[in-house]
Amino acid sequence: MQDTELFIHSAEIAGVFVGFGALISVRAGGASDAHEVSYIRWVMSMAIWVVVTALAPVIISGYDLAGHELWLVCSLLALILYFGVMVVNTRTHETREDIAAMSRATRLREQAANLVLVVPMIGALILVVLGLFPDQEPALYLTAVVLLLFEAAVILVMLVYTQGRPATA
């Protein structure tokens, strides 16, 4: 399988994000508010998603799946995991009070990151599932993995920049 090294390195980078999230969550005093906890959970969830989805083609190709079948299985797994993570994180960690406590600027930054990174990630995976560009499926899948890795990085940066500031503006 082509790009094996890129997938493995993406998983390694995401593993670092998991480590950062764990360090932040156990630092002296722990998370200070619900918004900070939500950021940490999103970073950790997305980084773990990247680890799983980056390693999936490497592992699944060992079962003699190749071509569209390989990328179809991996893309379906990635979509199911992403929407599962989204449902779990949204239901258990973001209450109306948490959202109301966020400043308008923070909500706009999060929505912009979703539009720029998550929507194309989902689009790339859907293109693979539909099989519209069979020659581009490995590139589309890798693009999806890297886009969510970037999303995790953006949320980690937003967490860092919100440290020590009130949640509301």
Residues 142-163 as b/e (b if ≥16 CB within 10 A, e otherwise) read bbbbbbbbbbbbbbbebbeebe
- Contact present, 159 and 43 (Cβ < 8 Å): yes
Q: Which residues contact 85 (CB under 8 A, 6 or more apart)?
A: 45, 46, 49
Least confident of 36-50, 102-116, 119-133: 102-116
Predicted model pTM: 0.78
Task: Indicate the residue type of 107.
Answer: R
Residues 110-151 pLDDT 10s: 777 778 889 999 999 999 999 999 999 999 999 999 999 888
What average pLDDT score do residues 73-96 get?
Answer: 84
Q: Given this model, what pLDDT does residue 125 score? A: 97
- Alpha-carbon gap, residue 84 to 1, rounded angstroms: 28
Give the rounded percent of residues in the chain with a pLDDT score beyond 70: 69
Measured between alpha carbons, how far apart are the two ends of the chain, in Å?
50
Which residue in the block uniquely carries the two structure tokens 């094996």?
4
Q: Which two tokens stand for residue 150?
A: 């970037």
Query: Considering only 1-5, 42-46, 48-52, 114-118, which range has the smallest mean pLDDT?
Result: 1-5
Domain locations in the chain?
4-162
pLDDT for the residue numbered 25: 58
The per-residue pLDDT for 28 is: 44
- Mean pLDDT, the chain, rounded, equals 79
Q: Which residue has the higher pLDDT, 60 or 37?
A: 60
Whether residue 93 contacts residue 40, with contact meaning beta carbons closer than 8 Å, is answered with no
